Structure formats: C-alpha cells, structure tokens
Amino acid sequence: MILPGDEVAQDQLDRYATVWFAPGIHNLSRLGKAPWYQTLVKKGQTIYLEGGSYVMARFKKNDNLGNGPASIVGRGVISGIKHKWVRSFSEGSQVINIDNLIGVTITDRACFGIYGGHNIDDIAMLGAWHGNTDGPDYLDDCLIQNSFLMAHDDNLKLNNNTHAKHLVIWQLANAHAIMVKEMRDHVTFSHSVVEDVDIITYFKAPTIWDRGWAKLGPGAIACVTGSDLQVKHFVFRDIRIESPYLYRVFNFYNLDTNLPYTPPWFSPTSESRHTRINGVSFRNITVTSPVIAYRSLLGSAYDNSFSNIRFVNININGTTVTDKNRDAFFEIEYDKVKGVAFLKTVDDSRGDP
C-alpha cells in the first residue's frame, strides 16, 4: 500500500502484482522521463485506487515487462494537473494502453485522455478545457460502457470493433461527440456499435466554423475522413441528443485532402487512395435542440466511395425524417452517395447494413 507522501520509484512498483494507493494526495507527476513523466504499469499488474485517493500521474502499460492484462481499478482519481500539457497521441494521453480501466475518474488531463484499452467500464472523464483534450481513442476490439465522458475535442472515437453502450457524453464547444477515427491509413474499421447514449450540451460553435474545413467538420455524430481507410458495418442506435445549439446532427463526408479546406493532419488522398464508406445504420435517434445551424451532411469528394446508409426512426425536434422530407434535414450529394434510405419504423427483415 502506498500512503500519501510516500516516495515512489518505478523499480519499487514493478515488484508487485497489485499496487494500492490509499486515500489522500499522491504526486507521481515527475516519475519517469521528461517530458511525458509516465508511471509504467507492467503486464499482469493491477493499480488499485482506493476511494478518496487522488493520484497525479500519467499511466502507461509497459509491454516489455510481465504477462497478462494491465489494469487500473477502484474509485480514486487520476489527475494531470501537475503534468506539462504535451500534444501527442501515443505519449501524451493520461492513460495509455491499459487493458482494463474500471471505476476511476480522470480529470485535468494533460492533453489527450485515454489511448487504447479493451475493457473500459464505469469511468468518468472530466477536466477538458481546451482543444486536443480528446476522449477515449484507439479503441480497437474494445468494450466501453456505463461511463461519463467530457471532452473539448473529439469525444468518443470509434475504431475497429468498438462497442460503446450506456454512456453520457458531455460535449463542449469544439469538435464531435461521436467520431469515427479519421487519421489512420491502410486499415479497415468494421462492426462497431454505439447504443444507448445521451449526448448533452454542445455550446455555440466559434465564428470560425463558417468556412473551409470547419464548415465541413462539426457534427454530433460524424465520420469526416481523409485517409486510406475503409469504414463498414457500423450501427448507431438508441441515441438521444439534447443541446441548446448544434452545428449539425450527422456529418459523414469523404474529403479530398488536396483541396484548400483540408487541415494538415490528414494524409494525401487521390482517386485510388481515399476513404470508402459502405454500410452504416442509424436507428432510434432523437434530437432536441432549439438551434441547428446546418442540415446534416452526407457527401464525398470521390465517386463510388460512399454507399448503403440507412436511417430508421430519426426524430428531430418532434418530426420523423422520411424519404419525403429528408431534404429539409439533410444535405445529400446524391451523385456521390448511393443507397440512402429513410424509414419510419424498423424493418427487421432487412437487418443492419
């Protein structure tokens, strides 16, 4: 057991299968090497944060030591308040590649939040006050459930075989509440499911979001990509969105990164090298917002790259979207998007795409 004020060294932590942090303040913010100052969790080890413990640390799984899943569990708090804010997906996140993350609260994260993992349950993510404080990301083959997520950038990031359910997402002014990972090349994302989710807040967007990339970008549920990526067989169901302001509800767009609207973090695309989206289903989505600035966007800069998207029982401010009224709610590039359907009720015989 580690008590408040105990001096902690990495080689001491490595000796034990379970490391228990007692209630109180623990400052591990200078453990490890600059600038990341990471506390390493060996494979097979469990870090237990007792209720009332407040641990200032950036935890990262050590793949070079031990065997089995690395876990952080308990009712304590992980804080980045003492870490330098450093922008890096693979090093800057507050929790990195921990297999099981259960019960804890993450606050004041020093850049991104959670990078990787396979079982994320009953967590709370708080303390996101500026851009690049993303939520959980790189969730390949991951179950994330029963959690509260706050972010001031992309919040829940979907990858391959991500299953997200029973979540409350508090989205601040920037970016997307739910977003398909947009910056990976030569991969396929398939069979991801998002269900039973409440999206709340989403304050008024900055005025810069009226041109270029920004005008294409924001959406509460989004897949805005510019890479060599395949997205297929995604299901979004039983989602409730309540907000005083939405830029738009849905945004699925396949970018041409050679155009000037594209920000620098996307990789180059071409007629042969770009994202392909095939098979996305939305069911039982309810939206309540007095202001929705733009219609939802479905489009592509490339031919034959976006197909089979189905909306079932989509209710926006009391109106069900159908094939007859869809143009009032959606901006669709019909020459580029093939196989779009809007249905009032679920037709189980057709299944999800």
Q: What is the mean pLDDT of the chain?
A: 92
In this prediction, residues 55-73 reach a mean pLDDT of 98
Helix-strand-coil split of the chain, %, nearest 5: 5, 45, 50
For residues 279 and 305, the answer to whether their CB atoms sit within 8 Å is: no
For the stretch 153-191, pLDDT in tens is 899 999 999 999 999 999 988 889 999 998 788 899 999
pLDDT of 272 higher than 50: yes
Report CA dihedral (134, 136, 140, 141) to the nearest 10 degrees.
-170
Q: Place 345 in a pLDDT band, splitting at 50, 70 and 90.
A: confident
φ, ψ of residue 213 in degrees (nearest 5):
-55, -40
In sequence order, what are the residues at sequence separation of 6 or more whose Cβ sits closer than 8 angstroms to the Cβ of residue 189?
158, 159, 160, 180, 181, 229, 230, 231, 232, 234
CA distance 142 to 245: 31
pLDDT of 199 higher than 60: yes
In sequence order, what are the residues at sequence separation of 6 or more whose Cβ sits closer than 8 angstroms to the Cβ of residue 255?
216, 224, 225, 226, 261, 262, 266, 269, 274, 275, 301
pLDDT at residue number 117: 97
Domain segments of the chain as ranges: 181-193+204-353
The pair of structure tokens assigned to 300 is 């592509």
pLDDT of 352 higher than 60: no
CA distance 179 to 219: 9
pLDDT of 206 higher than 60: no
pLDDT of 239 higher than 90: yes
Q: Place 348 in a pLDDT band, splitting at 50, 70 and 90.
A: very low
Of the candidate ranges 259-268, 277-286, 321-330, the one whose mean pLDDT is the lowest: 259-268
DSSP run (H or E) holding 47: strand 46-49
| CB-CB neighbours of 123 under 10 Å | 24
Of the candidate ranges 29-38, 177-186, 290-299, the one whose mean pLDDT is the lowest: 177-186
In this prediction, residues 184-203 reach a mean pLDDT of 92
CA distance 191 to 208: 35
pLDDT at residue number 347: 58
The better pLDDT of the pair 153, 65 is held by 65
CA distance 339 to 217: 23
In sequence order, what are the residues at sequence separation of 6 or more whose Cβ sits closer than 8 angstroms to the Cβ of residue 321?
311, 314, 315, 329, 330, 342
Query: Residue 27: exposed, middle, or buried by beta-carbon count in 10 A (0-12, 13-18, 19+)?
Result: middle
CA distance 252 to 182: 11
For the stretch 313-330, pLDDT in tens is 999 999 999 999 999 999
Q: Which residue has the tokens 């580690």?
A: 2
In this prediction, residues 28-56 reach a mean pLDDT of 97
- Global pTM exceeds 0.75: yes
Residue 323 identity (one-letter amino acid):
D
Q: For residue 323, give the 3-state DSSP assignment.
A: coil
Instruction: Give the neighbor-by-neighbor strand order of the sheet with 330-332.
Output: 156-158, 178-180, 221-225, 250-254, 296-300, 330-332
pLDDT at residue number 48: 98
The better pLDDT of the pair 118, 217 is held by 118
Percent of the chain whose pLDDT exceeds 70: 94
Q: For residue 212, give the 3-state DSSP assignment.
A: helix
pLDDT at residue number 349: 40
Q: For residue 90, give the 3-state DSSP assignment.
A: helix
Strand 319-320 to strand 306-316: parallel, antiparallel, or no bridges (unpaired)?
A: antiparallel
